[in-house]
Structure 1
Amino acid sequence: MSNSKQLPSTQSAVYINEIGEFDKIKFDSSIPVPKIESSNDIIIKNYYAGINFIEAYFRKGIYPINKFPYVFGREASGEVVAVGNEVSNLKIGDKIAYLSPGTFAQYTKITTNDYKYIKLPSNSTDEDLKIFGSLFLQGLTALTFINEAYKVKPNDYVLVWAAAGGVGKILTQLISQIGANVIAIASTDEKLKLAKDYGAKYLINSTTDNIEEKVKEITNGKGVDATFDSVGKDTFEISLNSLKRKGAFVSYGNSSGPVTPFPLSKLTPKNIILLRPSLNGYIATPEEWEHYSQELLKLYESKKLKFDTFKTYDLKDYVDATKDLEGRKTHGKLTLKIPQ
């Protein structure tokens, strides 16, 4: 049925048993280690797992959880330690990076049907594993959004919220490289300097500037072609008012809470296009995954895309990590190191 290393029966993991705030997050060694149950199963011993804001949405009940305990995590890198008999493209000892729920744990099970993984070179360093365990969710989100949610064109004016954040830094780089004008929004001058270093042409401090007035000034009163808004409730009206006629509103986050329900007629005066995309909707087939994952790798390996981790936390310290993230004390990517 399978080939595998000897695995323990339980593992360390970060999880919740109920919806709530930080105090509901648990870390202990009581979660069962997954087992090979079908011929297509793959079990990975995780090395690094990327931290993403989406976990806060699940914890707070903004996104539904179907089953408890809910183990956090959406991406990781690690080593294959068990495979089902019909798995032919991976073997025990292979290093991989992948997207999957439940990666804030020592072991995760996926299947070949999941297909959202890449095999890493056998000589991958610890730093490689850290990067590739954290690159794909935010990198692919940015890459697919600028190609499919709104196809960014040269000379466009594009508003990027949280421009020094994980997705924001990548959006800023990719949009600038197309030849469009990034108007970066961030909460501090330090974060805005980072956005400028990544290619932003215009900078707006959300703490001290009047965003709508600044956008009008930058665009000569026309408004922006598109806004990539990860903030949600608090910025909806500002994004909407900052768009030009026939502009595109790409809403993809809820860091301030979900957007309050509104009448669709709000979009009518300027014929606004409103989208609420998810990454999975753009990599729903093996062909789409192959296309975008390889394009992202090429961008990174050619150094056209700069990607680094702001801070690495031990798995047991996830509460500190998400407090820092949700408290806007960080920029760029946060990563968890999984105990071996």
Structure 2
Amino acid sequence: MYRAVRIHDYGGPEVLTLDMLPDPVPGRGEILLRQEAIGVNFIDIYFRKGIYKLPSLPAVPGMEGAGVVEAVGADVTGLAPGDRVAYPSALGSYAELRTIAADRVVTLPPDIGFDTAAAAMLRGLTVHMLLQEVYQAKAGETILVHAAAGGVGLLMCQWARHLGLRVIGVVSSEDKGELARQNGAAEILVGHDNLAARVRKLTDGAMVPVVYDSVGKETFVASLDCLAPRGLMVSYGNASGEVTGISAGMLATRGSLYLTRPTLATYIAQRPALLKGAAALFDMIGQGALAVRIGQRFALAEAAAAQQALEARATTGSTILVP
């Protein structure tokens, strides 16, 4: 038997229950993974609330983790019991044990620990996607990053600095602003009030070619107003609620803007893309260009508290569960 946190119905943090389940057996093309660390992300909250629908209920939430291969199923090659692996996007991570498709995990370099991997895989590959796939940022450009002191935000500030970008980071407090600045943000804006006017001042009226917005409903229109003509609005999260009521005219009247709503799952659906992103992430960590900050650790049984802290924006950096 093993412990797993499950959702039996959609709702608040209280719907997360710690259950005992029979040990799983890997099927064809799968591995059995004993998890050492588990990432906590906003997408977990979207699944818990039912914003994103689970395949069925009850279900184990969570998308990210790292651990040791316990067993391999039929037709699995290149992996063996004892191998250290991690994954960024496979539902079912809030558990001590889990089965997972072998082509969804990557082998960890010896110098990257389980905690770091669980804190960085989903967020780090998201940053790689945002800065080098969704929009190919160029040295010298100024970008606007919301939630700049969050798990994705801190990694984005560091990666962007490495690429020679100037980051304007938007945060909710002065303390978070200082943290974002330490991680590479050149300018800090606290709060969303009069956002466009403040960005206009920082850019001498030019505005920015791209906005990265994980906040959602609260900041969507303000983010559009920060873009230069033909700029790109990248809406990749719903921390304040889902963005609804969008009209094409909102983009036209603000200078023929572009809008995208990317998901990491789409960008790493093919294994070569997953391996490419993971290699880039591990290289950034290995050369010291990316320092993964784990701001909070919770026991697996405290998954509800971990999600509450994340939802209340009371966290900095990454949050992990320790089985």
Cα deviation, residue 15, structure 1: 1.2
Q: 1:159-197, CA deviations, whole angstroms, 9 ceiling, x for partnerless residues?
A: 100000011111111122222211000001010001111
> Helix, strand or coil for the counterpart of 2:219?
helix
Name the counterpart of 1:111: 101
- The alignment status of 1:12 with 2:3, answered yes or no, reads yes
Name the counterpart of 1:215: 199
Q: Which moved more, 1:326-335 or 1:211-220?
A: 211-220
Name the counterpart of 1:77: 66
Q: 2 CA distance for matches of 1:86 and 1:285?
A: 18
Structure 2 unpaired stretches of 5+: none
Q: 2 CA distance for matches of 1:134 and 1:176?
A: 20
Q: CA RMSD in A?
A: 1.5
Contact 2:233–2:258 (8 Å) recurs in 1: yes
Name the counterpart of 1:37: 27
> What is the TM-score normalised by the length of structure 2?
0.96
Cα deviation, residue 102, structure 1: 0.5
Q: 1 CA distance for matches of 2:248 and 2:73?
A: 50
Amino acid at match of 2:108: L
Contact 2:27–2:74 (8 Å) recurs in 1: no
Q: 2 CA distance for matches of 1:318 and 1:184?
A: 29
> Helix, strand or coil for the counterpart of 2:262?
coil
Cα deviation, residue 285, structure 1: 1.3
> Helix, strand or coil for the counterpart of 1:70?
coil
Q: Which moved more, 1:327-336 or 1:277-286?
A: 277-286
2:298 equivalent among 313, 316, 324: 313
> Helix, strand or coil for the counterpart of 2:297?
strand
Name the counterpart of 2:219: 235
Name the counterpart of 1:5: none
1:89 equivalent among 75, 78, 87: 78
- The alignment status of 1:24 with 2:15, answered yes or no, reads yes
Cα deviation, residue 88, structure 1: 2.6
Amino acid at match of 2:217: K
Amino acid at match of 1:36: P
Contact 2:119–2:292 (8 Å) recurs in 1: no
Name the counterpart of 1:6: none
Q: 1:88-117, CA deviations, whole angstroms, 9 ceiling, x for partnerless residues?
A: 3111122211232101101111123xx232
- The alignment status of 1:102 with 2:86, answered yes or no, reads no
Q: 1:124-146, CA deviations, whole angstroms, 9 ceiling, x for partnerless residues?
A: 6xx81111122110000011111
Name the counterpart of 1:65: 54
- The alignment status of 1:191 with 2:176, answered yes or no, reads yes
Cα deviation, residue 41, structure 1: 2.1
Q: 1 CA distance for matches of 2:141 and 2:317?
A: 24
Structure possessing the higher radius of gyration over alpha carbons: 1
Q: 2 CA distance for matches of 1:262 and 1:119?
A: 41
Contact 2:168–2:189 (8 Å) recurs in 1: yes
* Equivalent runs, 1:47-62 vs 2, <5 Å: 47-62=36-51
Q: 1 CA distance for matches of 2:167 and 2:118?
A: 28
Cα deviation, residue 284, structure 1: 1.8
Cα deviation, residue 308, structure 1: 2.2
Q: 2 CA distance for matches of 1:116 and 1:64?
A: 21
1:246 equivalent among 230, 234, 245: 230
Q: 2 CA distance for matches of 1:93 and 1:229?
A: 39
Q: 1:181-225, CA deviations, whole angstroms, 9 ceiling, x for partnerless residues?
A: 110000010100011111111110006x53222111111122111
Q: 2 CA distance for matches of 1:88 and 1:153?
A: 39
Name the counterpart of 2:108: 120
Amino acid at match of 1:311: Q
1:262 equivalent among 240, 246, 254: 246
Paired-residue identity, %: 34
> What is the TM-score normalised by the length of structure 1?
0.91
Matched positions, count? 321
Structure 1 unpaired stretches of 5+: 1-9
